[in-house]
Structure 1
């Protein structure tokens, strides 16, 4: 097990990023730990790993994209990415990242999942990232690794994945919606824009995304609100801009998706 801590860097070039990817791919260790700071706006082109990756955002907001969808990672969450899955990333704000790369034989993962990183999980990851600096013994590293692998299996899954349709016409509407979310957007308006009947539209939408239009709309509204909330914007402003009539309605949907009210969620993330 090896670790590399690059979190003291003030900036990061694409070359430096891919140099670290080469290090990850060439290492024979079963578990690798990586810490890094990405500047706001930094993009990582599509790539894949030979190891299963837990991409964890300790601070800031990142979007990870695959051919099948986009996953937004607010602070305190991680994306479990199967080995071999091609993905790209975009830093919405400055992001403090901790990643764990695990031999696929140790984690059987077939699809991306957004997980809430528990305090224990976060502490264990940080210990591995800083293992060389702290001069941890081989025995302690092994114990931390074993406990972390067990903890990853217990991390609660959060519905922060947002499937995107392959149909270019539908994709255009979905991307526009993310830029200007509206909790009251109607099926009839979208169907009319595409020149389709309501019934044909609902069938197409479910076939392309795997969920109903209403479910996708609810998830997209919360999806679009997370970066603004993470940057400290008032909950009232975010809720009203997303088309909710009041904070109570926004809070109800937020709690249904993330398990707590926006204020409690933000406090726990800050802590």
Structure 2
């Protein structure tokens, strides 16, 4: 794991005061590089044109494999973990330019047009001509981000300390067969109280959250080249068939085709 390794990067903090509403930046990261928790005054649309990025905030975790990106609203504390060699093409959006964008983190699909705009934006000078071609690229880029389809990959973290600790431990070693009874017993709650608390704290049922947590662990492993069978068995599925069925139900395609698309 590489944390705090000194490499030359274009940092979002360096562009906070640039007198432009949207700024594009591009970086290359070595495998397992981690950006410690930080925040910035601009929102960030974080896209990995190569590799996978995993974003964590106090409220949840989001994973973006190829052709997906994470929107991180301005002021959101977040850390980023790189899976494999990662090449990012990001844009920083001032609140005045991103009023139509969501005020919560989310994973969205990156269309071919949006991908090309992100690549182009990373090559635009920081203080570009607002009325010229570069200004048009940035304006179209924000419009495309606003209409990008949301992908249902999110693992919200509860505020309740005991429940949050249990959720974080699950992410470290997820088991698809874990039960409400096991969690409620561990937290000294009856089933009804636990299910009500869990939904209130996360906005999801326990089964939905467990499924999302397993997906968030599986996606980086798929991107790293691990086999579907190995991932399924490690997550506690009886075999690759059950895992693939769940994967396709949530993301629309089986895991064998997901990264190809």
Q: CA deviation at 1:233?
A: 0.8
Report the alpha carbon displacement of residue 14 of structure 1 after superposing the two structures with TM. Answer: 5.6
1:65 aligns with 2:56: yes
Q: Decide which moves more: 221-230 or 34-43.
A: 34-43
Q: Using the TM superposition, give the Cα deviation of residue 145 of structure 1 relative to its aligned residue in structure 2, in angstroms.
A: 1.9
Q: CA RMSD in A?
A: 2.5
Contact 2:22 2:97 in 1 (8 A): no
Q: Which structure carries more helix by proportion?
A: 1
| 3-state SS of paired residue (1:124) | helix
Select 1:164's aligned residue among 149, 157, 163. Answer: 157
State how far apart, in whole Å, the 2-side matches of 1:252 and 1:95 are: 29
Q: Which moved more, 1:76-85 or 1:242-251?
A: 242-251
1:113 maps to which of 85, 100, 106 = 106
CA distance in 2, matches of 1:154, 1:38: 28
Tell me which of 257, 261, 269 is aligned to 2:254.
Answer: 261
Residue 41, structure 1, aligned to residue 32, structure 2: yes
Partner of 1:83: 74
Taking structure 2 as the reference length, what is the TM-score of the superposition?
A: 0.88
Q: CA deviation at 1:187?
A: 0.7
Equivalent of 1:22, from 7, 10, 13?
A: 13
1:197 pairs with one of 184, 190, 204: 190
Q: Compared with structure 1, are the counterparts of its residues 32 and 85 closer, same or farther at alpha carbon in structure 2 (3 Å cutoff)?
A: same
Aligned to 2:86: 95
Runs of 4+ in 1 over 4 A off after TM superposition: 11-17, 135-138
Residues 60 and 167 (structure 1 numbering): CA distance in 2 closer, same or farther, change over 3 Å? Answer: same
Q: Residues 54-108 of structure 1: CA distance to partner in whole angstroms, max 9, x if unpaired?
A: 0111122222122211112222211111122222222233221111012222222
Aligned residues: 255
Per-residue deviation, 1:28: 0.9
Partner Cα distance (2:36, 2:173) in 1: 26
Change (3 A) 1:254 1:24: same
CA contact (8 A) 1:63 1:71 kept: yes
Structure 2: 5+ residue stretches without partners: none
Give the Cα separation in 1 of the matches to 2:199 and 2:216.
19
Match of 2:169 among 176, 186, 211: 176
Q: Which runs of 5+ in 1 are unaligned?
A: 1-10
